[in-house]
Amino acid sequence: MSIDVTSRPTAFQAEIPLDPENLSDAEILARTLYGEARGEELAGIEAVASVILNRVAFAKKRGRYWWGNDVKGVCLKPAQFSCWNANDPNRAKLLAISPRDPAYRLCKRIAKRAVAGELPDQTDGATHYHTLAIDPYWARGHVPVAEIGHHLFYKNIG
């Protein structure tokens, strides 16, 4: 009796979970953009990518920084991008994205441009953002530098 090892796993077989640490910077960025901004127009998704790149640039200027020193480190830093939080419903979506998903394909194109340094920053150097629907404690008393899509963008947050 032979076993066909090329067949798909059945419901009774365990699937190997995707480990974000094994993904490239562009792949992590694309998944982060999908989790944080997939409902936005192009400019809104690009603006979120700019925030991530601005955090990386901030780290390079200052040497080491607690957000992380590269795209992957910034995106996966605990409690920074809610889509990667263990209890966030978006995390499961990020780990099981279909490469055919149109929103994901857009996020991936933006991520590739961002990692290649081909993405202009529309946020004026913002390192923080939030949706219009919330009022986070860290934004109180600060004036946004940009409003793009459904997000407000800030810089110089202490």
Bigger pLDDT: 156 vs 144: 144
Decide if 110 contacts 120 (C-beta within 8 A).
no
Domains and CATH numbers, the chain: 23-122 (1.10.10.2520)
Between 13-27, 48-62, 73-87, 122-136, the lowest mean confidence (pLDDT) is in 13-27
Which residue, chain included where needed, has tokens 């009022």? 135
Query: Global pTM?
Result: 0.84
Q: What pLDDT score does 154 carry?
A: 97
Alpha helices in the chain (DSSP H): 25-37, 42-62, 71-76, 89-95, 102-115
142's tokens? 């600060």
29-71 per-position pLDDT tens digit: 999 999 999 999 999 999 999 999 999 998 877 766 667 789 9
As beta bridge partners, residue 133 has: none
Report the distance separating Cα 50 and Cα 31, nearest Å. Answer: 15
* Longest CA–CA separation in the chain, Å: 71
Report the distance separating Cα 17 and Cα 75, nearest Å. Answer: 19
- Name the residue among 76, 74, 68, 82 with its Cα closest to residue 36: 82
102-151 per-position pLDDT tens digit: 999 999 999 999 999 999 999 999 999 999 999 999 999 999 999 999 99
Decide if 58 contacts 69 (C-beta within 8 A).
no
Q: What pLDDT score does 55 carry?
A: 92
